[in-house]
Structure 1
Amino acid sequence: MDYDPPFLETYKAFLQNPHSEDTNTNYPSVVDSWEPPIIDFAKLALDQDSRPEERDRMIEATTKWGLFQIVNHEISQELLHSMMLEQMKLFHQPFVDKSPLRTYKWGNPFATNLSQLSWSEAFHICLTDISRMVENQNLRSVEAFATKATALVESIVEILAHRVNIRSRYFRDNCLPNSTFVRLNRYPQCPISSKVFGLMPHSDSSFLTIVYQDKVGGLQVMKDAKWVGVNPNPNALLVIIGDLFQALSNGVYRSIKHRVVAAERIERFSAAYFFCPSDDTVIQSSENNNKPAMYRKFTFREYRVQTGKDVKQIGDKVGLSRFLA
């Protein structure tokens, strides 16, 4: 396909070198499936004193797993379908046309072996840039998704913040349109799907991530020290806790490690909304349960710079362990 990135040509050296694989890596294989807890947003929207059960279930899911599904989220199936069509058109441009775009990324230019090669491509778009791309690329549904996802995330984090004594305006003051992103993902057909990931194992560099995945599936998460598959639910969005919320909550909420397997015969699409702060935002572990701070105080800029250094030096993200107290 003239729109596929040149994976095989670019990473030929890895493919020809039998020692390029990381033998300690658990490559994608048949795994058990898991149905994450389902939270009803319509019930969350009720007065806290009227229906606390759903809020408690959500807090339990973020504390235990770092992941849940949310239904009745007010983002219609029609909008999600329209967004997927826009996404497909965007990715199916010739590679020579999309590759120069600032928002476009593919693979992992810093990979040192096959286990670090992500067989995927993405448009990583700041919310303030979406309006411009609406005119150039006809992404009106993507813009509408971002607007609705912002309202959804703000409602969720307000509940979670209250549980761990974080002031209610912290996120509204620090997570702005110029620091929050939508990432459109495409996972092309992969002839070496048993050797590489669609997206390599990682945890998110965000407070919270909202994910919409198509019916193909392929997302796997680390649960009870083993990988399990998360089957797509057409009526639900996935809510994933990121590194920053784990640090901010002093470890009460868990940042979950996840990956995407590569598919040999079919392409896959997903969209993710990353709720991130401005660079100068201070991440300081909240005081709760008289527990000492797990992480030293740091800014999001420090976190991003350190992550960038690690990726360039070893091909992978290290994450929160760099910021332990």
Structure 2
Amino acid sequence: MVTFNFKDSSNPPLADHYVKLTTSKTNSYQETGLRLSRQESKPDESEELPLIDLSGLASADEEERAKCASKIASASTEWGFFQVVNHGVSPKLLSQMRREQVKLFNESFSWKSTCRLLNNSYRWGTPTATSPEQFSWSEAFHMPLNKVSDPACYGEELSSMREVVMEYAEAMQRVAKLVAEVLITNLGQKMEAFEEQIRCDEQTCYLRMNRYPAASGSGGSPLISQERIIHGLVPHTDSDFLTILHQDQVGGLHLIKDSKWVAVKPVQNALIVNLGDLFQAWSNDLYKSVEHRVIANPNMERFSVAYFLCPSHDSVIGSCCNHPSVYKSFTFGEYRRKVQEDSRIFGRKVGLSRFLR
């Protein structure tokens, strides 16, 4: 059995839990009429996502603005993922956020798990996992935006982080709403009409700071082999409208493209945009919410920060298109409850297929 001394270590007890799952005889899947993805293979290849220069949206040239918007819509339809540059978030702010994040996660596990700071949002591993393929080798702080300005969330220990996180959250919110407006307009709907139906603001959106420790056991021995991969984040789709992600240069993000896992090449200071389940439903399957995952690195830790554009729980999600909808209408609250219920039963979400007509 792999063991750690956690008194002074910053690493959560991921290895202990992972090894227990590899030896557990618990049946990890119960019978269901719904298909659960079990694609656990290594990526077939490494690809660069569509790279879009967002400065085109502010061009004085109408043709340039239209061309940029078209690239965003095409990438959302064909990939469900793309990277953006010239997005208006300064490299200095990205670096400041990374420094604060690294400093936070370098604290001891015992402190992180008991400090109750950042809205008491510290999480690690996957409590509901019953098998290794359901287990995420990672730790995170997950804060609603309406808490990022609250001094009580930081205490004296994290006082230097507050202003950086506030500025970062505002910047990501601007990027998210800029991209969302392009996608809404492409569907033939005005942003004002969308915002009357769907409320996405500081009360509903989230910021998640992630750390993926090196996947190694005692003495630094790697737990990953040619036959085995360890998920930093298990395969999933996002349950929001869209996600804005800033990652470091370690790599490890993979997504499904043409029925294959492909590894995403990091681009310095770029932001990754991926569409969530709600935009797929809202667009009547025109936009794609694509399954993605993170593979833990055996030798290096990885950091990322994600901003999630989410609506209020009572917002009704239905197709904005005129032709018959693929999905039944549902509220975001109903969707979240079903995702949580499936995660408890199956160890992972089922998602939009629950709401097919």
TM-score category, normalised to shorter length: over 0.9
Give the drift of 1:315: 0.4
Distance verdict in 2 for CA 1:227–1:297, change over 3 Å = same
Instruction: Determine the structure 2 residue equivalent to 1:49.
Output: 62
Instruction: Determine the structure 1 residue equivalent to 2:342.
Output: 310
| Alpha-carbon distance in 2 for matches of 1:134, 1:50 | 46
2:9 aligned with 1:2: yes
Is contact 1:128-1:177 (8 Å) kept? yes
Unpaired segments ≥5 residues, structure 2 = 1-7, 30-36, 217-222
| Alpha-carbon distance in 2 for matches of 1:294, 1:104 | 37
2:287 aligned with 1:253: yes
Is contact 2:43-2:261 (8 Å) kept? no
Give the drift of 1:19: 8.1
1:189-268 mapped onto 2 (5 Å cutoff): 189-191=214-216, 192-193=223-224, 194-268=228-302
1:97-112 mapped onto 2 (5 Å cutoff): 97-100=111-114, 101=116, 102-112=120-130
Q: 1:184 corresponds to which letter in structure 2?
A: M
2:166 aligned with 1:143: yes
| Alpha-carbon distance in 1 for matches of 2:20, 2:250 | 30
Distance verdict in 2 for CA 1:34–1:162, change over 3 Å = same
1:290-305 mapped onto 2 (5 Å cutoff): 291-305=323-337
Equivalent in 177, 186, 208 of residue 163 of structure 1: 186
Give the drift of 1:30: 5.1
Deviates more, 1:108-117 or 1:88-97: 88-97
Query: Alignment RMSD, CA only?
Result: 2.0
Distance verdict in 2 for CA 1:196–1:18, change over 3 Å = farther
| Identical columns (%) | 41
Equivalent in 158, 163, 180 of residue 205 of structure 2: 180
Distance verdict in 2 for CA 1:233–1:240, change over 3 Å = same
| Alpha-carbon distance in 1 for matches of 2:237, 2:100 | 27
2:65 aligned with 1:58: no
| Alpha-carbon distance in 2 for matches of 1:7, 1:125 | 22
Instruction: Determine the structure 1 residue equivalent to 2:46.
Output: 33
Is contact 2:256-2:290 (8 Å) kept? yes
Deviates more, 1:157-166 or 1:269-278: 157-166
| Alpha-carbon distance in 2 for matches of 1:224, 1:30 | 12
Instruction: Determine the structure 1 residue equivalent to 2:319.
Output: 285
Give the drift of 1:26: 3.9
| Alpha-carbon distance in 2 for matches of 1:33, 1:149 | 27
* TM norm structure 1: 0.93
What SS is found at the alignment partner of 1:147? helix
* Count of paired positions: 322
What SS is found at the alignment partner of 2:107? coil
| Alpha-carbon distance in 1 for matches of 2:308, 2:135 | 22
Is contact 1:20-1:114 (8 Å) kept? no
Q: 1:117 corresponds to which letter in structure 2?
A: F
Distance verdict in 2 for CA 1:300–1:35, change over 3 Å = same
**Residues 184-226 of structure 1: CA distance to partner in whole angstroms, max 9, x if unpaired?**
0000011223342010000001101001110101000100000
Is contact 1:134-1:143 (8 Å) kept? no
Q: 1:131 corresponds to which letter in structure 2?
A: S
Give the drift of 1:95: 1.1
Instruction: Determine the structure 2 residue equivalent to 1:129.
Output: 147
**Residues 93-124 of structure 1: CA distance to partner in whole angstroms, max 9, x if unpaired?**
11111113321111110011000000000110
| Alpha-carbon distance in 2 for matches of 1:275, 1:48 | 29
**Residues 37-88 of structure 1: CA distance to partner in whole angstroms, max 9, x if unpaired?**
1111110123583421111111111111111111100111111111011001
Give the drift of 1:14: 1.4
Give the drift of 1:28: 5.1
Unpaired segments ≥5 residues, structure 1 = none
Q: 1:165 corresponds to which letter in structure 2?
A: G
Which consecutive segments of 4 or more residues in structure 1 shift more than 6 A?
18-22
| Alpha-carbon distance in 2 for matches of 1:29, 1:317 | 21
| Alpha-carbon distance in 2 for matches of 1:38, 1:146 | 23
**Residues 263-308 of structure 1: CA distance to partner in whole angstroms, max 9, x if unpaired?**
11110000100000010111011124xx310111100000000000
Is contact 2:126-2:136 (8 Å) kept? yes
| Alpha-carbon distance in 2 for matches of 1:218, 1:195 | 11
Q: 1:66 corresponds to which letter in structure 2?
A: G
